[in-house]
Amino acid sequence: MSHRTLFLLPGDGIGPEITAEVVKIIDFLNDKAGAGFEVEQGLVGGSAYDVHGVAISEDDMARAMAADAVFLAAVGGPKWDSVPYEVRPEAGLLRLRKDMQLFANLRPAICYSALAASSSLKPELVEGLDILIVRELTGGVYFGEPKEIIDLDNGQQRAIDTQVYDTYEIERIASVAFELARTRGNRVCSMEKRNVMKSGLFWNQVVTRVHKEKFADVELSHMLADAGGMQLVRAPKQFDVIVTDNLFGDMLSDVAAMLTGSLGMLPSASLGAEDPATGKRKAMYEPVHGSAPDIAGQGIANPLAMIASFAMCMRYSFNMIAEADALEAAISDVLEQGYRTGDIMSEGCKKVGTAGMGDAVLAA
């Protein structure tokens, strides 16, 4: 039996409720399929602050670093809105991303046929949509120095953010995008603004070179990021994998999210560098939504984003392709069968709570 170590961080709000549904699936895979998952749980966010006075303890950080994959549900809530800035719930998330060097953020936008009618777009534009946005997560204008607001001699002030990308940062994110494309539709579209930004021109050059040297079998196209935003809304099914920088990726992935219906349906993965000794990548999986304090503790949260994140975890961290496919098919099945949590409810469907939805997926 293989050993697969998973570190679960349920966090705050609806986090523990949706985590319980993934635990059911893990237990099922261990019992029925000998999957060999070894699960530990820790504290992050407000729940860690309440116990340890920090957003994640050093002990839990060490356990996260040692695990094959980290699984985080959500952090935050009004209870912790006034805690000191350094220990606010999000600090736990940022610490994990930084220490694990998670430079590649994967945001799939999948539109299940059963939910196509609830998209912001016409159903025929999104039905069957399956795209993957690969966003650079640790560089670019969110982190570049100088980053400051300075006083000028003339009494005015000046705000400065700096977009910085080094060769290696673009090489590694491009490589991840090309590798992922090979497991899907074999197409990558790279988005930047080479017409007005040096960093855009450089991004374009490095992606083109990496493609030529190592991934010539994958189809590569380039698009200006603003045009890309338009195309995502006009004809999203033209894309397979989109690779872009931190800022554009932040915006484009939120645009793509709205193509698919509900926040409660969207999974994500963040991948780090490959360990040359083991070939394994550090990885953290999390739903895109937050801790939904408005519905926490009521047993009505949608667990599907969390469950879909676990499918990504099996696919990318454990190469359990058949199991990941089966779990994604089960999600699609329960939607076809008409099961809905409140956030995706529509007329004539069967309303279920968090546990009811988890059980339906397990049955499927």
Q: Is 99 a catalytic residue?
A: no
Q: Which is nearer to Mg ion, 219 or 250 (CB)?
A: 250
Q: Is 193 a catalytic residue?
A: yes
The interface partner of residue 250, options being ligand NAI, Mg ion, none and the CB cut-off 5 to 8 Å by kind, is: Mg ion
Angstrom distance (rounded) from CA 157 to CA 37: 55
Which one of the listed residues 50, 217, 254, 275 is annotated catalytic? 254
**Coil, strand or helix at 201:** helix
Q: Can you say whether the dihedral through the CA atoms of 41, 43, 44, 45 is positive or negative?
A: positive
Angstrom distance (rounded) from CA 175 to CA 62: 28
Q: Cβ of residue 200: shortest distance to ligand NAI, in angstroms?
A: 28
Q: Cβ of residue 143: shortest distance to Mg ion, in angstroms?
A: 15
Which one of the listed residues 27, 99, 161, 226 is annotated catalytic? 226
Which one of the listed residues 12, 49, 68, 193 is annotated catalytic? 193
The interface partner of residue 220, options being ligand NAI, Mg ion, none and the CB cut-off 5 to 8 Å by kind, is: none
Q: Cβ of residue 182: shortest distance to ligand NAI, in angstroms?
A: 29
Q: Which residues contact 13 (CB under 8 A, 6 or more apart)?
A: 74, 76, 77, 290, 291, 292, 293, 296
Q: Is 214 a catalytic residue?
A: no
Which one of the listed residues 130, 250, 333, 359 is annotated catalytic? 250
Of 122, 56, 128, 61, nearest in space to 91 by CA: 56
Q: Which is nearer to Mg ion, 179 or 250 (CB)?
A: 250
Of 74, 29, 24, 111, nearest in space to 357 by CA: 24
Binding residue ranges? 77-90, 97, 107, 135, 226, 250, 254, 290-302
The interface partner of residue 118, options being ligand NAI, Mg ion, none and the CB cut-off 5 to 8 Å by kind, is: none
Q: Which is nearer to Mg ion, 254 or 336 (CB)?
A: 254
Widest pairwise Cα distance in the chain: 72
Q: Cβ of residue 47: shortest distance to ligand NAI, in angstroms?
A: 12
Contacting range for Mg ion; rule: CB under 5 A; set: 28-36, 134-142, 242-250, 260-268: 242-250
Binding residue ranges for NAD(+)? 77-90, 290-302
How many binding residues for Mg ion (CB under 5 A)?
A: 2
The interface partner of residue 265, options being ligand NAI, Mg ion, none and the CB cut-off 5 to 8 Å by kind, is: none
Q: Which is nearer to ligand NAI, 131 or 301 (CB)?
A: 301
Residue type, 34: G
250 is a site residue for Mg ion (CB under 5 A): yes
Contacting range for Mg ion; rule: CB under 5 A; set: 32-40, 56-64, 132-140, 244-252: 244-252
Q: Is 250 a catalytic residue?
A: yes
The tokens describing 90, both together, are 């999000």
Chain residues in the site for ligand NAI (CB under 6 A) = 14, 74-77, 93, 263-264, 286, 289-295, 301-302, 305, 343
Q: Is 245 a catalytic residue?
A: no
**Coil, strand or helix at 137:** coil
Q: Cβ of residue 290: shortest distance to ligand NAI, in angstroms?
A: 2
Asked whether 305 and 264 are in contact (CB, 8 A), the reply is yes
Q: Which residues contact 126 (CB under 8 A, 6 or more apart)?
A: 111, 116, 119, 236, 237, 259, 260
Q: What angle do CA 224, 166, 181 make, to 5 degrees?
A: 55
Residue 257 CA to its chain's centroid (Å): 11
Segments of the chain assigned E as strands: 4-11, 37-41, 69-74, 104-110, 130-136, 148-151, 157-160, 187-192, 219-224, 241-244, 267-274, 281-287, 339-340, 350-351
Q: Which is nearer to ligand NAI, 52 or 209 (CB)?
A: 52
Q: Which is nearer to ligand NAI, 138 or 199 (CB)?
A: 138
Residues forming a β-bridge with 130: 110
Q: Cβ of residue 72: shortest distance to ligand NAI, in angstroms?
A: 7
Binding residue ranges for substrate? 97, 107, 135, 226
Active site residues: 142, 193, 226, 250, 254
Q: Site residues (CB under 5 A) for Mg ion?
A: 250, 254
